[in-house]
């Protein structure tokens, strides 16, 4: 009985110290960087997930919207990519690659006047 109590206490201690095995919180810059790494590796679904997590972490920064738009474009979801780029353009510090991706999307939608 005493051995079982010691084992149980050890398991509780390990569980508490390890944080319960939950998902670790990554910072916004780390998520965006990991998203671009996944994108460069051609893993667009992982990139989509990482950029979505980055937007959840800081919805006011534009960089994750740029990456998410590019990932959506590569996943052939042009309409959603257009909306994502549009939303990202209203956020803080939109990067040039957001506008480049948006231009590609508008061109793919045959909205030539807006893509220039």
For 31-76, write each residue's pLDDT tens digit: 999 999 999 999 999 999 999 999 999 999 999 999 999 999 999 9
- CA–CA separation, 66 and 78 (whole Å): 13
- Number of Cβ within 10 Å of residue 88's Cβ equals 25
- CA–CA separation, 87 and 56 (whole Å): 14
- Hey, where are the domains in the chain? 24-115
pLDDT class of 98 with cuts at 50, 70, 90: very high
Specify the fold of 24-115: 1.25.40
For 80-89, write each residue's pLDDT tens digit: 999 999 999 9
Burial (CB count <10 Å: 0-12, 13-18, 19+), residue 38? buried
For 100-110, write each residue's pLDDT tens digit: 999 999 999 99
pTM: 0.78
């Amino acid at each position: 009985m005493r051995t079982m109590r010691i084992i149980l206490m050890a398991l509780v201690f390990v569980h508490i110290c390890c944080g319960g095995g939950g998902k670790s919180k990554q910072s916004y810059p780390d998520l965006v960087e990991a998203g671009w790494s996944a994108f460069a590796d051609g893993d667009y679904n992982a990139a989509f997930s990482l950029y979505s997590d980055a937007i959840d972490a800081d919805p006011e920064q534009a960089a994750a919207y740029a990456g998410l738009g590019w990932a959506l474009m590569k996943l052939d979801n042009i309409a959603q990519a257009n909306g994502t780029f549009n939303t990202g353009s209203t956020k803080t510090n939109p990067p040039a690659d957001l506008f480049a991706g948006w231009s590609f999307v508008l061109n793919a939608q045959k909205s030539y006047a807006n893509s220039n």
